[in-house]
Amino acid sequence: MVLRKTALGAAAVIAVAALALAGCSGSPKGQTSGPSELTLDLNHLAATTPTGTTPVDQVKWNLPYEPSLIDPIFTWNYAENTVTANMCESLVRLKPDLSQEPGLASKVEQPDDTTVIYTIREGVTFWDGNPLTAEDVAFSLQRQIGPDTKSYWADYFHNVASAEATGPLQVTVKLSKPDVLFTQAMGSAAGAIVEKAAVEAGGQAFGTPKGGLQCTGPYKLGAWDSGKSLTMDRNDAYWDSSVKPKVKQISFSFIADESTAINALRTGDVDGQFFYLPPAGLSQLQKSSNVTTTFGKSFVFWTLAAINKDGAMGDEKIRQALSLAIDRTALTKVVFQGAGIPAPTLAGPDMWGYGKDQFSSAYKKFGVAPDLEKAKKLVEEAGSPKTPIVLAVQGSSAVHEQTASVIQAAGQAIGLNVQTKVIPVEQFGNLYFDQTARKGLDGFFTTNYGDFADPLNVYSFFQSGNSHDYIGWDSADADIAKALQTSDDTARAKLVVGIQDKVTQGLPWIPLAYEPTTLIQNKRISGAVPSFAYLYSPWAVTIGGTK
């Protein structure tokens, strides 16, 4: 089982450091002797692939593991959301370019800071033919409100006091205090709408292979054969007549073993897959004449989180020194085979959904070039601690192990003793919230992402009390609280730039790399959305045959 934040999947050992590139969206550096290197340009990541033109009966798609549940409130992970994105629509829709547009709510109004009025689109029906009502919308939100909710998205509903149907097609959400993240989160699966009657009838089974699902999307749940496959069929009664999916059925397989998945892609046994980290066999795929590889815009980043306040990593100077000693350019080249971008900050350029100029000029002052002299000085200032820094490494993950080696080397260069401890995949997820699981560890690696294009989404992790703030870092509390209540984009951007400075200075998490989405498609099809939007909005409606 995979947790969304864990860098699972990168299983086998990466044999090559650099690789030959035959890709489409990366720009190859000079073709010198030997294998050329894949380097990605943040400005040229893809948002779309050419729309497929001919009808296709079935597309076989692979997921890195079987979803555990597909009720949207229990989906906050790669495989689950890859599936629900095509079936359960949200109030707001995430576009392939990662901006947002109206979804099931045709209009969103905010008469004041604590009131949001959603006007529900007319003429939308669930797969069973029942019309979408304000009751369904209110219900879908209500089940995520309050201290007792089991929703994985509960964080976004902290400041929601109520959600009530205030008209046949109108839902009013009352916030207990202004929260700019809530309205944006309605563009993720947190804002996905399910049919009230179906949830109540399904009870505990809703969203499991037995209980089914009832949503409004362009694809409906077909059969879910636990352990084998999950199929979804085209919803021919889809409300948006401008959307005409060409693929009749999409069948998901659950190949967890990465080399098996790569082989299945190469032979055409499966037609496509999204990888959130580049697979170890990326070079094999790029050499294959059967598939195309696309690198898409993404919110995903790779980071080292400090988790022990009392250990060496609890010292800001040590974190700064370690960060300065890491060669991020080498890291992306070796560990991510070039399919990664060295990250000086946690939230990358794809997350700048507003105030682009402000974020862009603020970004320019950060660099990724290592500075060993300065790092050594910082270690000295911190009293040259001799206690080892123990980093948790996820079992059977090449990306984890190799990153740990890079950090170990960096630590050695500046006189820090960095050690690693392997934690099995299945237990790794407990590190995120279980104090006892973190005992004896100073840091762990994680892939993480924001759910919409607002850097505040990521930086709000570091408001003290947030479950992501493992070392009680609190230097930006007041700014974060203020930014969360600032709805004016320019004013908020200014605040968030300030928060970004503080977080990048204090390094409760050390940024390492931005990870574009890797989309593999068989050449017989084209059109899947290669950007991060594949997790929250229909990515398969543009797929079609190429012949």
Partner 1 sequence: MSFASYLLRRIGGLLLVLLVTSFLVFGLLYLAPGSPLAFILGPRGGSAAQIAAVTAQYHLNDPFVVRYIAWLGDVLHGDLGRSIVYRQPVADLLASRAGTTTALVALAAVIIAVVGIIAGTIAALRGGWVDQVVSTLSAIGLSTPVFVVGVALISLFAVGLGWFPTFGVGSGGLDTLWHLILPAIALSVASAAYLARITRAAVNEERGREHVQTATVRGLAPGLIVRRHVLRNSLIPITTVLGLTVATLIAGAVVVENVFALDGLGSLLVKAILQRDFAVVQAVVLVLVVAFVVVNAVVDVLYTFIDPRITLGSKR
Which residues contact partner 1 by CB under 8 A?
A: 1, 3-5, 68-69, 74, 76-77, 147-148, 152-155, 204-205, 208-210, 225-229, 253-257, 259-261, 263-264, 266-267, 269, 424-427, 429-430, 432-434, 437, 467
Kindly state the smallest distance separating residue 352's Cβ from partner 1, in Å. 24
Instruction: Compute the distance between CA of residue 31 and CA of residue 197 in angstroms, rounded to an integer.
Output: 60
486: number of Cβ within 10 Å: 18
In terms of CB distance, is 1 or 413 closer to partner 1? 1
**CA 401 to each of CA 10, 392, 405: distance values in angstroms, whole numbers, following the listed order:** 10, 10, 6
In terms of CB distance, is 112 or 148 closer to partner 1? 148
In terms of CB distance, is 110 or 466 closer to partner 1? 466
Kindly state the smallest distance separating residue 322's Cβ from partner 1, in Å. 25
Instruction: Compute the distance between CA of residue 196 and CA of residue 202 in angstroms, rounded to an integer.
Output: 10
**CA 146 to each of CA 123, 163, 200, 377: distance values in angstroms, whole numbers, following the listed order:** 31, 11, 19, 49
Instruction: Compute the distance between CA of residue 22 and CA of residue 44 in angstroms, rounded to an integer.
Output: 16
Contact in structure between 539 and 252 (CB atoms under 8 Å): no
**Amino acid at site 213:** L
Radius of gyration over every alpha carbon of the chain, rounded to an integer in angstroms: 23
**CA 175 to each of CA 69, 105, 172, 194, 463: distance values in angstroms, whole numbers, following the listed order:** 29, 18, 10, 22, 19
Kindly state the smallest distance separating residue 241's Cβ from partner 1, in Å. 34
3-state SS assignment for residue 350: helix
Encoded tokens for 219: 């694809």
DSSP string, 137-154: HHHHHHTT-STT---TTG
In terms of CB distance, is 109 or 225 closer to partner 1? 225
HSE-CB at 270 with a 13 A cutoff on CA atoms is: 23
Contact in structure between 455 and 352 (CB atoms under 8 Å): yes
Kindly state the smallest distance separating residue 88's Cβ from partner 1, in Å. 17
Instruction: Compute the distance between CA of residue 471 and CA of residue 208 in angstroms, rounded to an integer.
Output: 37
Burial of 302 (0-12, 13-18, 19+ CB in 10 A): buried
In terms of CB distance, is 254 or 363 closer to partner 1? 254
In terms of CB distance, is 241 or 467 closer to partner 1? 467
Helices (H), 305-464: 316-325, 328-334, 356-363, 372-381, 398-413, 425-428, 455-459
Sort residue 335 into left (φ over 0), alpha (ψ -120 to 50) or beta.
Answer: alpha
Encoded tokens for 167: 């008209």
In terms of CB distance, is 5 or 376 closer to partner 1? 5
In terms of CB distance, is 431 or 513 closer to partner 1? 431
Kindly state the smallest distance separating residue 417's Cβ from partner 1, in Å. 25
Four-point Cα dihedral 463, 465, 467, 473, nearest 10: 50
**Amino acid at site 397:** S
In terms of CB distance, is 324 or 346 closer to partner 1? 346
Kindly state the smallest distance separating residue 210's Cβ from partner 1, in Å. 7
Kindly state the smallest distance separating residue 20's Cβ from partner 1, in Å. 18
Instruction: Compute the distance between CA of residue 545 and CA of residue 547 in angstroms, rounded to an integer.
Output: 6
Contact in structure between 265 and 317 (CB atoms under 8 Å): no
In terms of CB distance, is 78 or 239 closer to partner 1? 78
Kindly state the smallest distance separating residue 512's Cβ from partner 1, in Å. 19
In terms of CB distance, is 414 or 480 closer to partner 1? 480
The phi and psi torsions of 495 (rounded to 5 degrees) equal -65, -45
In terms of CB distance, is 8 or 368 closer to partner 1? 8
Kindly state the smallest distance separating residue 5's Cβ from partner 1, in Å. 6
In terms of CB distance, is 50 or 440 closer to partner 1? 440
In terms of CB distance, is 260 or 487 closer to partner 1? 260
Kindly state the smallest distance separating residue 265's Cβ from partner 1, in Å. 9
Kindly state the smallest distance separating residue 232's Cβ from partner 1, in Å. 17
Residue 259 parent element (H or E): helix 258-267
Kindly state the smallest distance separating residue 204's Cβ from partner 1, in Å. 7
Kindly state the smallest distance separating residue 126's Cβ from partner 1, in Å. 23
Kindly state the smallest distance separating residue 521's Cβ from partner 1, in Å. 17
CA angle 498, 95, 154 (to 5 degrees): 60
Contact in structure between 328 and 513 (CB atoms under 8 Å): yes
Instruction: Compute the distance between CA of residue 181 and CA of residue 451 in angstroms, rounded to an integer.
Output: 10
